């Protein structure tokens, strides 16, 4: 993660594409391939700030207080990117509880989480994000106030063979998380998307203002999930960050 840190405090921070000065938000050009992981660890913004980094505009609500998450539901934490991020978070913020929900399907492995298996601020639950009963039980039991949503079926080639499973996990699973996060009034919802929603670049760089043009069942399911996230942002003004 380089010099990045998960910023819960302070009035000024650099957040990948976002430069936060009090309540002002400025879109900055992409900097490097590590930009996305940098944004992940900076993604919980100041309280009251509702920011959408995709699309033609960025809007924000002025912040008045610092946002301090205490109980985070972290989906897909046993995968490659998820586990590396989760380990960083658990070790860096011992006063924050991280509840990892993962179904341990292909691409996920409990061994990825060995560095934090004895951490007192880490809880692992094996389950499916598309199960509303499972997600509701976890969120109520652990009094979750923040969601970091990494879970996804992500193998492009396999999505051609099993497209329904990809839609069930990536679209329906995201729908379940959004519904319950809204009902329970979580303070932040971070959705991890993918550049593949923009399709093939053919050597030309794309930024967050580009139109969606998914080219396979996997990227189509991720685009569908992000459309749901945008819908909740617009309909309910939920405190959502899309990475």
The question of whether 196 is a catalytic residue gets the answer: yes
Residue 103 near residue 126, CB atoms below 8 Å: yes
In sign, the C-alpha dihedral spanning 210, 215, 218, 224 is: positive
The question of whether 195 is a catalytic residue gets the answer: yes
Both tokens of residue 171?
A: 């679209």
Of 17, 218, 226, 232, catalytic: 218
How many Å apart are CA 26 and CA 24, to the nearest integer?
A: 7
Residues paired with 123 in a beta bridge: 99
Of 66, 132, 168, 195, catalytic: 195
The question of whether 207 is a catalytic residue gets the answer: no
Residue spans of beta strands (DSSP E) within the chain? 12-15, 18-21, 24-27, 71-75, 97-102, 122-126, 146-149, 188-191, 240-242
How many Å apart are CA 9 and CA 3, to the nearest integer?
A: 16
Of 102, 145, 196, 226, catalytic: 196
Active site residues: 195-196, 218
């Amino acid at each position: 993660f380089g010099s990045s840190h998960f910023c819960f405090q302070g009035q000024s921070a650099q957040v990948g594409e976002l430069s936060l000065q009090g309540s002002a938000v400025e879109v900055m050009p992409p900097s490097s391939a590590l930009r996305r992981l940098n944004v992940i660890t900076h993604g919980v913004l100041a309280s009251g700030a509702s920011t959408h980094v995709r699309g033609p505009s960025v809007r924000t609500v002025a912040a008045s207080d610092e946002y301090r998450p205490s109980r985070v539901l972290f989906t897909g934490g046993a995968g490659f990117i998820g586990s590396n991020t989760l380990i960083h978070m658990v070790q860096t913020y011992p006063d924050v509880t991280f509840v990892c929900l993962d179904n341990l399907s292909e691409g996920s492995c409990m061994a990825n989480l060995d560095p934090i298996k004895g951490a007192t601020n880490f809880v692992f639950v094996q389950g499916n994000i598309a199960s509303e009963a499972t997600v509701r039980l976890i969120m109520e039991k652990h009094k979750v106030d923040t969601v970091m949503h990494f879970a996804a079926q992500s193998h492009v080639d396999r999505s051609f063979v099993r497209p329904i499973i990809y839609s069930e996990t990536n679209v329906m699973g995201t729908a379940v998380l959004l519904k319950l996060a809204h009902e329970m009034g979580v303070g932040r919802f971070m959705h991890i998307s993918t550049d593949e929603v923009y399709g093939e670049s053919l050597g030309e760089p794309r930024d967050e203002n580009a139109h969606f043009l998914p080219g396979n069942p996997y990227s189509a399911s991720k685009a569908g999930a992000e459309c749901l996230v945008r819908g909740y942002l617009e309909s309910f003004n939920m405190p959502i960050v899309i990475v």
